[in-house]
């Protein structure tokens, strides 16, 4: 299926919960509201014509310093899906406010989401509702803050052991 037909199926099924769709550079992408992301992912996985059986990537982008998006929702959680039988891709984006940074988890659908969501929690501070074990993946437990946020300066260090001790 080509990009626009995939987006068409999603729009038919979910209507107003798909906030916008676009297909730039051949990459179909849909923006979905946070409560609807779990049913959308399930539909993408189980619907035979879509058949997205591989969750390729689950990440987030912090739009705090993006020119033109300062008053919109701060984060956007991005899902990249791939279908092995049909070899097509899809990108789903979920805008998340900073004050209410919670998104339903995808762990029940794809077990890899466990680690990917832990990484998003670690780097951005976005919680995943229903995740069995949400703790840091890459940074150490004593680390304070979420490093990939735009307001975390790249040089701020929090050493675990100091010089020569």
Neighbouring residues of 43: CB distance < 8 A, sequence distance ≥ 6: 10, 13, 14, 50
Residue 103 binding another protein, by CB under 8 A: no
Q: Rule CB under 8 A: is residue 84 a binding residue for another protein?
A: yes
DSSP character for 17?
A: G
Residue number with CB closer to another protein (13 or 109): 109
CB 90 within 8 A of CB 28: yes
Q: Decide: is 108 part of the binding site for another protein (CB under 8 A).
A: no
The window from 9-17, 22-30, 35-43, 96-104 that contacts another protein (CB under 8 A) reads: 22-30
Q: Which of 2, 5, 19, 27 binds another protein (CB under 8 A)?
A: 27
Helix, strand, coil fractions of the chain, as percent rounded to 5 = 25, 25, 50
Cβ partners under 8 Å of residue 145, min gap 6 = 152, 156, 158
Contacting positions for another protein (CB under 8 A)? 24-25, 27, 53-57, 59, 61-62, 65-68, 78, 80, 82, 84, 87, 89, 91, 110-112, 114-116, 123, 136-140, 147-148, 152, 154-164
């Amino acid at each position: 299926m080509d990009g626009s037909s995939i987006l068409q199926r999603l729009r038919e099924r979910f209507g107003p919960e798909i906030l916008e769709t676009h297909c730039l550079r051949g990459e179909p992408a849909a923006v979905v509201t946070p409560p609807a992301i779990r049913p959308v992912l399930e539909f993408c996985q189980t619907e035979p014509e879509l058949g997205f059986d591989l969750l390729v990537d689950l990440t987030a982008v912090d739009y705090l310093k993006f020119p033109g998006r300062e008053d919109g929702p701060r984060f956007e959680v991005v899902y990249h899906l791939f279908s092995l039988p049909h070899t097509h891709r899809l990108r789903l984006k979920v805008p998340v406010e900073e004050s209410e940074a919670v998104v339903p988890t995808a762990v029940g659908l794809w077990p890899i989401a466990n680690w990917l969501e832990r990484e998003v929690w670690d780097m951005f501070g976005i919680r995943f509702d229903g995740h069995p074990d949400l703790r840091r993946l890459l940074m150490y437990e004593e680390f304070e803050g979420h490093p990939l946020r735009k307001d975390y300066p790249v040089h701020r260090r929090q050493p675990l052991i100091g010089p020569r001790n």
